[in-house]
Amino acid sequence: AACILYYIASITEDWIPVQFDFYGYDTPLYEQPLAIKYIVSFYTAVMSLTGNDINPGNGTQFFISSILLVFGALINANIFGTIAVIAQTFSRKSQRFQDQ
């Protein structure tokens, strides 16, 4: 996801992450070393997968951020669904033990 975000942002060079702007970097993101660009893209990808907004700047970025948000929601649903199944299994085993 970070590679996709970085690629889309590097084409247009109009996306400035909120956290990068907030911390007051004097040098624009696109003039930073490649490692910094990727770290910022990775952080933004992780944040968008957990449901946070990444402040897209154009239509392509809106589309990618929407896909990441849906994908993150599916991951969260899978995790919570698995936890619910495990809890139900424990409850069922506990009930059988108490019935004996």
Rg (CA), the chain: 20
Q: Does a structural domain hold residue 16?
A: yes
Domain encompassing residue 49: 2-70
Q: What is the pLDDT of residues 4-58, one digit of tens each?
A: 777 877 777 776 665 565 566 666 677 778 888 788 888 888 887 787 777 777 7
Do residues 51 and 24 touch, judged by C-beta distance below 8 A? no
Q: Is residue 90 part of a domain?
A: no
User: Which of residues 20 and 60 earns the better pLDDT score?
Assistant: 60
Spell out the SS3 assignment of 18-40: HHHHHCCCCCCHHHCCHHHHHHH
Is residue 83 domain-resident? no
Which pTM value belongs to this model? 0.64
What pLDDT, on the 0 to 100 scale, is given for residue 47? Answer: 81
Task: Count up the domains in the chain and report the number.
Answer: 1
